[in-house]
Amino acid sequence: MTVKKTKKAVTKFFETKRETFEEIQEASFQRSEKLLVDVLKEKIGTINYPFPPFVPIALAWIFIILFPLAFILDPSFTTSLDMSSRKIIGFYLPLLATALIFFINQKALVRSCIFKKHYVRYFIYNSFLLIALLLLREVALFLTDRSAGEGIAEFFSTYYFSTIKGHFSIRTVISFALMVSFVCVTSVFYNIILRQTLKAFLQREKKNVELQYELDFLKNQLSPHFLFNTLNNISALITIDPKRAEESMAKLSKLLRVMLYQTSDATITIKEDIDILQKYAELEKLRLDESYDLKFNINLEDENFQIAPLIAMPLVENAIKHSVNPDGKSFAHISITQAGNKITFETENSNYPRKAKSNAGGLGLATFKKRLDLLYTSRYTYETDVEGDIYRAKLEIITD
């Protein structure tokens, strides 16, 4: 095998291993991000920072600078030590060097090298940092030991090069190399966790925006659907009873005005929502026979209890719509109970369902169920039951 083929085979081998590593790494990222997204689905309040973002960094540096003073200024500690300039530098230099290397890695090197897969470049840059750190140590020690009249020029001309073996011991180099390595590993993991956390937050915010758009769309579908059915009813009344049709139009106008102003928010009080339901039921009753039995049973513990607007409108609408029996008794009984953080909507009506048109599609109930899934997810139950000529529906919602 020629050198060229060998080089090609080795390159291909390492390329395959690199791709495998990247796939494993990306799969790990995705698992971690999914876990973070699941955690962040819990309700987290918006954090408002009352101070500029540089303040935590400044506080960290102040801590690094002042921390050794707790030992240096302690009499019981300093009496047993020679607190010379060398000792003070021995306290401060590792702390300052660690903070500086971490800052450089966190702000520049990890993002420009590790995340872009320039691993060799990352190693070279940190090697230069290690050399610079050792050089800084030597300069600091020279400045503490120098005699009067010696300046920094003497460091490079005599002190540094003439005593290089004495100052750069294997122990010193290894200890500083281990410190730099530890800081690099910490910085890489810190940036990976930060990256995954930020991506998880962005995913959550994106889903929240999409959810809000979908909720607004579904809520806006209710009004046209309700308006379509009501106008059909009024249209039928015009030829039969023009006076009642006129009265229905006035009630419809009033109801739409209420719906326009009260349902624009994410939630309204249960009292306001029930008021809309009752106005709608009164409007529907105008087209029905006087013998039609329509009742509301309201039992509220807190009239200011918050609920999504018009969430139960399809229940009331279908209870009335499918209860009209021209040849028998027709009724719709609606019960609304609220206690604690739970609210229950129950409807019971005579069962006389209309035949669905081929293009109807059940928009009202489809929208109803979709809104429940989006707003209350696993915090609601919806059940229906048919017993002879009676149809029952029950919706229970548990709010936060």
- Between 171 and 291, the more confident residue is 291
**pLDDT tier at 228 (50, 70, 90 boundaries)?**
confident
Q: What is the DSSP letter of 287?
A: T
Q: What is the pTM of this model?
A: 0.48
- Between 8 and 21, the more confident residue is 8
Q: What is the pLDDT of residue 158?
A: 54
Q: What is the pLDDT of residue 45?
A: 41
Burial class (CB in 10 A: 0-12, 13-18, 19+), 199: middle
Q: What is the pLDDT of residue 361?
A: 44
- Between 42 and 102, the more confident residue is 102
Q: Which of 11-15, 57-61, 191-195, 227-231 has the lowest mean pLDDT?
A: 11-15
Q: What is the pLDDT of residue 337?
A: 95
- pLDDT of 366 higher than 60: yes
**pLDDT tier at 214 (50, 70, 90 boundaries)?**
low
Q: What is the DSSP letter of 51?
A: S
Nearest to 364 by CA among 69, 90, 151, 372: 372
Residue 108 phi/psi, 5-degree rounding, is -130, -60
pLDDT tens digits, one per residue of 380-399: 999 999 988 899 999 999 98
Which whole number is the average pLDDT over 313-338?
87
**pLDDT tier at 249 (50, 70, 90 boundaries)?**
confident
Helix 54-66 and helix 85-104, axial crossing angle in degrees, nearest 10: 160
pLDDT tens digits, one per residue of 42-91: 444 444 444 455 555 666 666 666 666 655 555 554 444 455 555 666 66
Q: What is the pLDDT of residue 355?
A: 58
Q: What is the pLDDT of residue 378?
A: 85
Cα 177 from chain centroid? 40
Q: What percent of the chain has pLDDT over 70?
A: 57
Of 115-124, 208-217, 273-282, 328-337, give the range with the top mean pLDDT: 328-337
Q: Beta-carbon neighbour count of residue 73 at 10 Å?
A: 10
Place of tokens 């006076």: 243
Q: What is the C-alpha separation between 251 and 289, in angstroms, rounded?
A: 18
Which whole number is the average pLDDT over 146-167?
52
Domains annotated for the chain, with CATH where assigned, are 3-41+49-205 (no CATH), 241-398 (3.30.565.10)
Q: What is the DSSP letter of 301?
A: S
Q: What percent of the chain has pLDDT over 90?
A: 12
Long-range contacts of 44-49 (CB under 8 A, 24+ apart): none
SS3 342: strand
Q: What is the C-alpha separation between 280 and 276, in angstroms, rounded?
A: 6
Q: What is the pLDDT of residue 40?
A: 46
pLDDT tens digits, one per residue of 254-264: 777 776 666 66
Parallel, antiparallel, or unpaired for β 342-350 and 380-387? unpaired
**pLDDT tier at 4 (50, 70, 90 boundaries)?**
low
Which whole number is the average pLDDT over 186-209?
75
- pLDDT of 332 higher than 90: yes
Average pLDDT over the chain, rounded to whole?
72
